[in-house]
Chains A and B, each alone.
Chain A
Amino acid sequence: MDTEAPPPTATPSPVIELTGVKRAFAVPGSGPLTILDIPAFSVAAGELVALEGQSGSGKSTLLNVIAGILRPDAGSVKIGGVDIVKLAEPMRDRLRADRVGLVFQQFNLLPGFTALENVLVAMGFGSRPADRGRAESLLTAVGLADRLHHKPAALSIGQQQRVAVARALANRPRVLLADEPTASIDPAHQQQVIDLLQTSCRDEQVSLVVVTHAPEVAAQFPVRYRLEDFNRAAAAHAPAAARPAAAGVQP
């Protein structure tokens, strides 16, 4: 599948399903700036998806909306069939803890906690009781069996990103959202992170959505979209040369 293909809105039992989502931000001195205008977008269970977009195209905003961190101004966002827009914030938080794993560009590990504790903390926010055995096996799976009790400062960049991946998978999420996971890593290690994410998500049967500005990263995913394909706001702001064909955008 390439960037010209339409988004999989008709996939059966989508794990992520956005309908009519709009999100704008107030800009001082001018009117609201629409960042997201997505008529429809969905990700099927187990899909490994790359969303490619330029800076300012709304990639991070989209991930935050899917994760329930940001509330859209309009539309619905379903995770595993549950419309999180209709949920009260504490329920959204709980659903995020249980069903959504997040990996950030800056890894965002808690600096005062060891690798194992970073995973255990995430487990503590979910519905299930914290499972130390699972936390250890996740870290072992990402190659950190001998780094369980190291704090982030004692880990290399690549190792920190591995902890972040293990932490994102801690609560057996339905979907893992990764925001520019390779942007802070040197090219030699980028491939390792991509492989780790894809392998881990396949092993855990988790849908993976990676947003990236790098075409070479997006090219390595079986499903690949450009934001402009389904986000009208991004398409409107994009340079003419970068605008997708009309067929790439769902009404």
Chain B
Amino acid sequence: MSLFGIAWRNIRQRALTSGLTALSMALGVALVVATLVTGGVVKQAFESGAGLGYNMIIGAKGSPLQLVLNSVYLISKPIENISWQTYEQFLPASERADGVDGVFAASTQTAVPICMGDYFRGHRVVGTNATYFDRLFRGDGKPFSFSAGQNFVDDDLYTAVLGNQVAASLKIAVGDEIAPTHGADDGKVHDPFLVVGILDRTDTPVDRGVYVNMEGFYLQEGHAKPIEDDEEAAEEATAEPARLPDGRLPYNQREVTAILLETASLPGLPAELTAMGLRTAINEGRDAQAALPIAEIRVLLDLFVSPLELLLLLVTTLVVIVSAIGILVSMVGSSLERSRDVAIMRALGARRGVVLATVLVEAILLAVGGGGAGWLLGHGVVGLIGPWIATNAGVSAGFFSFTPAELLLVPFLIALAILAALLPAIAAYRTDVARWLG
């Protein structure tokens, strides 16, 4: 009979104690795995750049991290707005009213404006145009797709597209109307927007966003920018804004909260240098700031997430070590019974090394068996909280999410088991056969 066979039967013989010990180990390892995997996928997704179709965010001067969190993750508060003229600096002549290329148009591949400040039943309302879903991506370069309906067109002023989670949780379908509120859920109720499309699930913050046509957004009460040198016009802006002949808000009364920008490569320059140059130029100006989402998120990770993750990992590792001590306690507790068994085996001809190895293998089986169950449990937990992570952190995490650090668990558990079982194993090694069988 092999060492594993003997060790396994010893475990079965003390089934209750062994089971509880393994359970304790499983819970500890599950915590470690859940922490590792969650932290791993979040960091991986943030650090990978996520292929969203933009690499820079332009917004009002202030905290760049706040700008990123607000624009990309739909959390935190908007800083301030930037002028429509700032937005137009990134547009080519064909998209500008004056028919002249914007100053940054050559460095711009895509510029998608977003306007924020309204809510719909707890969800952020984002005013934007059709390019958001036409030119940007849901992540990893995958285009947006619709589970029902389609993207709005810019000419249909009061139309909206809903994120998958919003539509599911509020039970809203294409053809329904939604009426955002101004500034907060209990703010003034705006005009209704017709829902024309519901996005497929993206496992990103987009799932919990309400996207309305920016042109309709501008026409809502309080959304037109007051014209400072015209008091009368300012008063009108709070009531009924002036309109262009086609019914839209005049450009001089418009603002945007942020611009999601994909930079282009200037001739003869690498894309990175173009982006750096554009960022410097914008940041040196007075009107706006340019933030690099990846860089800002990395700062966030380095400053807060990584230390927190490390702390969490330390705590969970302590839990595993406590579980290992459980193995030690379990083995010491059964040492009387074990000594007799060891003495019997020694009398039958088992060498000291064999009985020592049997005890170690028993501990390793408990640790690895419990650890294996914990690994499954940990991944199960990640699978369960995956949707929550997806909507709150904007990254996809599921049962099969894996982080290379998990590979270290096996040698870690084996080393821990050996350490925990060393004392009982040495005791077994030194067992006085004649005394126990006498």
Interface residues of A (CB under 8 A from B): 60-61, 64, 67, 69-70, 89-90, 93-94, 96-98, 100, 102, 104, 106, 108-113, 117, 120-126, 130, 167, 171
How far does the alpha carbon of A93 sit from the alpha carbon of B354 in the complex, in Å?
11
Contact with A126, one of B12, B13, B349 (Cβ below 8 angstroms): B349
Q: From A89, A97, A130, give the contact of B348 (CB < 8 A).
A: A97
Expressed in whole angstroms, the minimum distance between the Cβ of A213 and any Cβ of chain B is 14
Complex Cα gap A67–B340 (Å) = 18
Known: A60-B438, A69-B434, A108-B344. A117 touches B1 (CB 8 A): yes
**Chain B residue contacts of A109, Cβ below 8 A:** 344
* CA gap between A121 and B2 in the complex, in Å: 8
Query: Which A residues lie within 8 Å of B13 (CB)?
Result: 111-112
Asked if B351 is at the interface of the complex by the 8 Å CB criterion, the answer is yes
Bound Cα distance A20, B433 (Å): 24
Interface residues on chain B, size class = 20 to 34
- Flag whether B341 is at the interface (Cβ < 8 A): yes
19 new A-B contacts at CB < 8 Å, known A64-B434, A106-B437: A60-B438, A69-B433, A89-B351, A90-B351, A90-B353, A93-B346, A96-B347, A97-B349, A98-B349, A100-B349, A108-B347, A112-B12, A121-B1, A122-B348, A124-B2, A125-B348, A125-B351, A125-B354, A171-B349
Q: Residue on A with the closest CB to B354? A: A125
Question: Would you call B349 and A125 a contact (CB within 8 A)?
Answer: yes
In the complex, residue of chain A having the shortest beta-carbon distance to the beta carbon of B344: A108
Q: How far is the CA of A166 from the CA of B120 in the complex (A)?
A: 81
How far is the CB of A112 from the nearest CB of chain B, in Å? 3
Q: Which of B409-438 contact A (CB under 8 A)?
A: 433-434, 437-438
Does B345 sit within 8 A of A, measured CB to CB? yes
Which residues of chain B have C-beta atoms less than 8 A from A69's C-beta? 346-347, 433-434, 437
Residue of A nearest to B352 (CB): A89
User: Would you call B348 and A167 a contact (CB within 8 A)?
Assistant: yes
Q: Given the interface contacts A121-B1, A125-B348, does A70 sit within 8 Å of B9 by beta carbon? A: no
A-B contact pairs, 15 of them (CB 8 A): A64-B438, A69-B346, A89-B352, A90-B352, A90-B353, A93-B351, A106-B437, A108-B343, A108-B437, A112-B9, A112-B10, A125-B348, A125-B351, A125-B354, A126-B349
B75 contacts chain A at the CB level, 8 A cutoff: no
Residues in A with CB closer than 8 Å to B10 are 112
Is B350 at the interface (CB under 8 A from chain A)? yes
Q: Which 6 A-B pairs have the closest CB atoms?
A: A97-B349, A112-B13, A125-B349, A124-B1, A122-B348, A112-B9
Which residues of chain B have a CB within 8 Å of any CB of chain A?
A: 1-2, 6, 9-10, 12-14, 340-341, 343-354, 433-434, 437-438
The CA of A111 and the CA of B349, in the complex, are separated in Å by 18
A125 touches B9 (CB 8 A): no
Measured CA separation A108–B345 after assembly (Å):
10
B394 to chain A, nearest CB (A): 52
Closest Cβ of chain A to B43, distance in Å, is 46
CA distance A236 to B358 in the complex (A): 43
How far in angstroms is the closest Cβ of chain A from B351?
5
The residues of A that contact B352 with a CB separation of less than 8 Å are: 89-90, 93
Q: What is the CA–CA distance of A110 and B354 in the complex, to the nearest angstrom? A: 16
Instruction: Among A67, A111, A113, A123, point to the contact of B347 (Cβ < 8 A).
Output: A67
Q: How far is the CA of A64 from the CA of B347 in the complex (A)?
A: 9
Judge whether B341 and A110 touch: CB under 8 Å.
Answer: yes
Query: In whole angstroms, what is the CA distance A130 to B353 when docked?
Result: 19
Between B1, B347, B354, B434, the greatest number of chain A beta carbons within 10 A of the residue's beta carbon is seen for: B347
Q: How far is the CB of B288 from chain A (nearest CB, A)?
A: 74
- CB <8 Å contact, A110 and B347: no
Q: Report the Cα distance A110→B262, complex, angstroms.
A: 73
Contacts of A110 in B (CB 8 A): 9, 341, 344-345
Complex Cα–Cα for A191 and B340 (A): 28
For the complex formed, measure the closest distance between the CB of A37 and the CB atoms of chain B, giving whole angstroms.
18
Chain B residues with CB under 8 Å of A124's CB are: 1-2, 6
**Which A residues lie within 8 Å of B353 (CB)?**
90
User: Distance in Å from the Cβ of A6 to the closest Cβ of chain B?
Assistant: 29
Q: Kindly list chain B residues whose C-beta atoms are within 8 Å of the C-beta of A64.
A: 433-434, 438
Q: Complex Cα distance A93/B349, Å?
A: 5
Determine if A104 and B437 form an interchain contact, defined as CB atoms under 8 angstroms apart: yes
Taking CB atoms, residues of chain A closer than 8 Å to B354 are 125
Q: Which of B1, B14, B341, B348 contacts A102 (CB 8 A)?
A: B348
Which of B14, B351, B433 is the one whose CB lies under 8 Å from A94? B351
